[in-house]
């Protein structure tokens, strides 16, 4: 494929697709703008039209990953029977996404992308995924299943919990910590404990 094939504005999309392929086949370390250019069949200078820096390219690839995560979380919510089930389903969907796409999961927290405000598309995609969880918290609160605390704080608590267990599973750290059971069973137990801690506290008797 030559540069001539990208004179109609699809070079950016082709490069991002190549980055996703590199990510899938070789992990986070394999994702680079030069490698993507080689896959697409353009010169090393050509990507500068779309991505001024190597980091901006990584951000574009990560944004697609967050989009996939948001879609998986949304699908889980839509399939749930009630608001409490939806809240739990979001957590299980997050862990499931990490297990299905471990390299994409690792890309989401790439150290060079910590300041997402520098990459508007990445920030928007990241917020979209988080908002699925936050909205699930709000709906569960409205139905009385979750304590009336700050939705943002509760969502961050849930997010950090499911991200942590996902990282342990993806990086094969469970056995080193003494757990030899099914990772899905562990995710269930962790989320059950999390949701027990978020239940409303009964008030004093009248």
pLDDT band of 151, cuts 50, 70, 90? confident
| Confidence (pLDDT) at 98 | 96
Task: Verify that 69 and 33 share a domain, yes or no.
Answer: no
Task: Verify that 9 and 80 share a domain, yes or no.
Answer: no
CA distances from 123 to 59, 117, 129, 166, 192 (A): 9, 6, 10, 21, 30
With residue 134 as reference, give the H or E element that holds it: helix 120-142
SS3 label, residue 92:
helix
Task: Verify that 72 and 118 share a domain, yes or no.
Answer: yes
pLDDT mean over 20-28: 96
Last residue of a domain, one of 34, 52, 70: 52
CATH code (residue 117): 1.10.357.10
Q: Answer yes or no: is 37 within a domain.
A: yes
Given a cut of 70, whether residue 19 has pLDDT beyond it is yes
Task: Verify that 29 and 83 share a domain, yes or no.
Answer: no
Task: Verify that 61 and 45 share a domain, yes or no.
Answer: no
CA distances from 185 to 19, 133, 188 (A): 33, 21, 5
Structural contact between residues 6 and 42, judged by C-beta atoms closer than 8 angstroms: yes
pLDDT band of 1, cuts 50, 70, 90? very low
Given a cut of 60, whether residue 120 has pLDDT beyond it is yes
Task: Verify that 46 and 138 share a domain, yes or no.
Answer: no
CA distances from 66 to 42, 114, 133, 201 (A): 27, 14, 13, 34
Q: Answer yes or no: is 138 within a domain.
A: yes
Last residue of a domain, one of 10, 26, 52: 52
| Parent domain of 193 | 55-197
Query: What is the overall mean pLDDT for the chain?
Result: 89
Task: Verify that 66 and 162 share a domain, yes or no.
Answer: yes
pLDDT band of 201, cuts 50, 70, 90? low
Given a cut of 80, whether residue 31 has pLDDT beyond it is yes
CA distances from 47 to 17, 18, 85 (A): 13, 12, 45
pLDDT mean over 106-118: 93
User: How many domains is the chain built from?
Assistant: 2
């Amino acid at each position: 494929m030559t540069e001539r094939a990208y004179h109609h504005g699809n070079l950016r999309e082709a490069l991002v697709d190549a980055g996703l392929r590199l990510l899938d086949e070789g992990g986070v370390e394999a994702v680079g703008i030069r490698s993507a250019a080689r896959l697409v069949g353009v010169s090393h200078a050509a990507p500068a039209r779309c991505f001024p820096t190597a980091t901006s390219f990584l951000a574009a690839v990560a944004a697609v990953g967050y989009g996939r995560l948001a879609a998986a979380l949304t699908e889980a919510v839509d399939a749930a029977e009630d608001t409490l089930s939806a809240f739990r389903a979001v957590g299980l969907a997050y862990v499931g996404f990490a297990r299905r796409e471990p390299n994409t999961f690792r890309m989401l927290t790439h150290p060079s992308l910590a300041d997402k405000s520098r990459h508007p598309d990445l920030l928007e995609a990241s917020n979209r995924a988080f908002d699925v969880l936050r909205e699930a918290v709000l709906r569960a609160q409205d139905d009385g299943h979750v304590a009336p605390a700050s939705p943002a704080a509760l969502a961050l608590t849930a997010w950090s919990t499911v991200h942590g267990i996902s990282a342990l599973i993806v990086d094969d750290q469970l056995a080193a910590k003494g757990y030899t059971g099914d990772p899905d069973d562990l995710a269930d137990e962790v989320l059950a404990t999390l949701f027990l801690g978020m239940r409303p506290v009964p008030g004093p008797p009248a």
